């Protein structure tokens, strides 16, 4: 069956209906429905839906008094909904067109409905005056009371006939049916001022632009009308009202969507030593990269932190937290950037030499873990592996730092430990730290509430991949709960390469100017967090000649 729906949007506040008691001299009317007499007498009309008095009608009723017309709407057993079309006297009795919601048959007639309606929100239906305009309509109305579409009327409409009804609540939807498939053509209008000013309704989907409205009918030439034709067609209409000034834009708590919430920088393999370094790196390389980082931070204006991949102090780490190299290789080089949090991990060179971090299972011998020097500014390494959630609320991210230095054996059989002062313990310590790091990562991807995980270690993705850390690599590729950005250093280049972890992202960030130039890509990585918490990462490279000998 063809159904036409009207969608009406109104911001007018709900008005209460104030009803007066019936006067003693009110007109008495007798209506007959299914051989039951209903007398409207001695009835007090109150706001709401009181029941009919005992002895009159043994059904729930709702009463409205307006212009000396007193109406009782049966709403339960007979399925008669509040609302009525105009009724007419045919010389023998009333033509009754109240619809029973179950049977669709006539059940009750109320005279002169139009003068009896009351409320601010009015719907008016007018049949056209052309050939084939008349037809049988069934109309339902939804006023947002939770009952959905409720019957208004169902009857044959003649040419030029007009039916309207006003409601005390804004009308949400109007459903129009042509159950006898005889067609109908006319207009539908809506008023929010009690019928003073009506606005035309026009289709905005289904039968766009069709006004007046055709329902399963023929046009004035006897042809099928275009647009609203067919039993399966649904036409949604909307009132066309004069434009109103846009409401003032409410204040927002932050920048609009698309703006940036913050940014961060990533650097690795940067602690240049003038006495021990590779053959093709210039002494100014680390400082040039540091200057580019400071310039980028000033341009962004919202850098929150820095991720440090390790190999911070070439060639063999530092002995204590009081070493002068904190000043010469870090504070003096990066300046104001060292006031930001530097989330750091150990690299293989940091483990070598006089740092005894690999000699004990605890971190008591680790010179870079919470160094107790007079000024370490933002340096942050509370343990060799750790996680940090300080930016969870602000940036929806969590930082996870992992010590995977056990994989260094892939570069040589002895790996890091041949340069340590505790060869007998070193391999055991690094293996345990690797196991602890992988266990920490497994826990955090399960428990973290952050949308984004920034995961980093000293090694790019091909190292754990070659080492057979298959579960770890599988977890890095899983974006079902988090978007993962993985960063590693060790190779002295800055590029988005090596073993990929799609749909997540991996970076090699080892071109920090500390040891050598393994490629022409020397520099750092920038991360930007937009207003929707999406992270965009890209490299910032400096001129090759400013870093490396050809």
> pLDDT tens for residues 404-451?
999 998 987 777 888 887 878 899 999 999 999 999 999 999 999 999
Query: 339 — phi, psi (to 5°)?
Result: -80, -15
What's the pLDDT band for 332 if we cut at 50, 70, 90? very high
* Residue 487: other Cβ atoms inside 10 A: 26
Distance CA 152, CA 138 (A): 8
Does pLDDT of 186 surpass 90? Answer: no
Cα–Cα nearest to 109, from 166, 33, 167? 33
Give Cα 216 distance to the centre of its chain: 41
Give the CB-side neighbour count of residue 539, counting CA atoms within 13 A.
Answer: 21
The CATH code belonging to domain 260-546 is: 3.60.21.10
Does pLDDT of 185 surpass 50? Answer: yes
Q: Are 12 and 192 in contact (CB under 8 A)?
A: yes
Give kind and range of the element (H or E) at residue 502.
Answer: none
Distance CA 63, CA 19 (A): 9
pLDDT at 264: 98
> Environment class of residue 255 by beta-carbon count within 10 Å: exposed (0-12), middle (13-18) or buried (19+)?
exposed
Distance CA 368, CA 363 (A): 9
What Rg, from alpha-carbon coordinates, does the chain have?
A: 40
pLDDT at 257: 62
Residue with tokens 């209506």: 31
Q: With H, G, I as helix, E, B as strand and everything else as coil, classify residue 294.
A: helix
* Residue 349: other Cβ atoms inside 10 A: 26
Give the CB-side neighbour count of residue 524, counting CA atoms within 13 A.
Answer: 29
Distance CA 9, CA 102 (A): 29
Distance CA 352, CA 380 (A): 20
pLDDT at 181: 66
Give kind and range of the element (H or E) at residue 441.
Answer: helix 423-447
Residue with tokens 């006898």: 180
What's the pLDDT band for 471 if we cut at 50, 70, 90? very high
Domain boundaries, the chain: 3-15+30-239, 260-546
Distance CA 368, CA 35 (A): 98
Does pLDDT of 296 surpass 60? Answer: yes
What's the pLDDT band for 206 if we cut at 50, 70, 90? very low
Does pLDDT of 521 surpass 50? Answer: yes
Q: Are 425 and 358 in contact (CB under 8 A)?
A: yes
Longest CA span, the chain: 118
Q: 21-35, 305-319, 320-334, 394-408: which range is least confident on average?
A: 21-35
Any bridge partners for residue 202, and if so which?
A: 238
> Phi/psi zone of residue 504: left (φ > 0), alpha (ψ -120 to 50 degrees), beta?
beta
Q: Are 535 and 529 in contact (CB under 8 A)?
A: yes
Token digits of residue 549: 């000998």
Q: Are 355 and 405 in contact (CB under 8 A)?
A: no
Residue with tokens 């009952």: 147
Residues present in the chain in total? 550
Does pLDDT of 32 surpass 70? Answer: no
């Amino acid at each position: 069956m063809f159904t036409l729906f009207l969608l009406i949007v109104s911001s007018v506040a709900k008005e209460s209906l104030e009803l007066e008691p019936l006067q003693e001299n009110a007109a008495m009317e007798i209506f007959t429905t299914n051989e039951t007499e209903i007398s409207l007498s001695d009835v007090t009309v109150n706001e709401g839906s009181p029941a009919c008095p005992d002895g009159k009608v043994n059904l729930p009723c709702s009463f409205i008094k307006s212009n000396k017309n007193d109406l009782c709407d049966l709403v339960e057993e007979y399925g008669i909904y509040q609302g009525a079309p105009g009724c007419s006297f045919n010389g023998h009795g009333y033509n009754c067109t109240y619809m029973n919601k179950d049977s669709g048959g006539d059940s009750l007639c109320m005279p002169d409905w139009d003068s009896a309606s009351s409320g601010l929100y009015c719907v008016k239906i007018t049949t056209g005056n052309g050939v084939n305009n008349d037809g049988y309509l069934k109309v339902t109305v939804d006023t947002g009371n939770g009952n959905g579409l409720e019957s208004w009327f169902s009857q044959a409409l003649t040419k030029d006939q007009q039916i309207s009804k006003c409601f005390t609540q804004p009308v949400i939807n109007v459903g129009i049916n042509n159950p006898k498939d005889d067609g109908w053509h006319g207009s539908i209008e809506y008023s929010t001022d009690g019928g003073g000013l009506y606005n035309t309704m026009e289709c905005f989907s289904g039968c766009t632009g069709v006004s007046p409205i055709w329902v399963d009918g023929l046009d004035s030439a006897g042809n099928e009308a275009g647009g609203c034709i067919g039993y399966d067609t649904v036409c949604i209409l909307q009132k066309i009202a004069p434009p109103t000034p846009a409401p003032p834009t409410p204040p927002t708590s932050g920048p609009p969507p698309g703006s940036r919430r913050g940014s961060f920088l990533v650097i690795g393999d940067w602690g240049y030593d003038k006495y021990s370094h590779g053959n093709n790196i210039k002494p100014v390389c680390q400082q040039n990269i540091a200057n580019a980082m400071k310039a980028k931070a000033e341009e962004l204006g919202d850098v929150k932190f820095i991720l440090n991949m390790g190999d911070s102090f070439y060639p063999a780490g530092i002995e204590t937290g009081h070493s002068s190299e904190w000043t010469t290789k870090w504070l003096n080089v990066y300046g104001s950037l060292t006031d930001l949090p530097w989330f750091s991990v150990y690299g293989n060179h940091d483990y070598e030499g006089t740092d005894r971090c690999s000699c004990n299972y605890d971190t008591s011998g680790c010179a870079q873990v919470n160094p107790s020097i007079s000024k370490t500014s933002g340096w942050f390494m509370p343990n060799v592996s750790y996680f940090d959630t300080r930016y969870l609320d602000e940036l929806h991210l969590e930082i996870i730092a992992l010590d995977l230095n056990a994989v260094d054996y892939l570069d040589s059989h002895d790996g890091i430990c041949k340069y340590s002062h505790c060869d007998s313990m070193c391999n055991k310590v690094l293996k345990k730290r690797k196991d602890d790091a992988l266990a920490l990562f497994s826990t955090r991807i399960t428990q973290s509430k952050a949308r984004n995980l920034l995961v980093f270690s000293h090694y790019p993705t091909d190292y754990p991949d070659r080492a057979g850390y298959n579960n770890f690599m599988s977890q890095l590729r899983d974006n079902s709960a988090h978007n993962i950005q993985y960063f590693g250093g060790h190779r002295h280049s800055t590029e988005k390469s090596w073993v990929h972890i799609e749909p997540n992202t991996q970076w090699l960030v080892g071109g920090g100017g500390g040891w050598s130039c393994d490629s022409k890509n020397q520099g750092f990585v920038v991360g930007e967090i937009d207003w929707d918490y999406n992270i965009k990462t890209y490299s910032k490279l400096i001129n090759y000649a400013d870093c490396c000998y050809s």
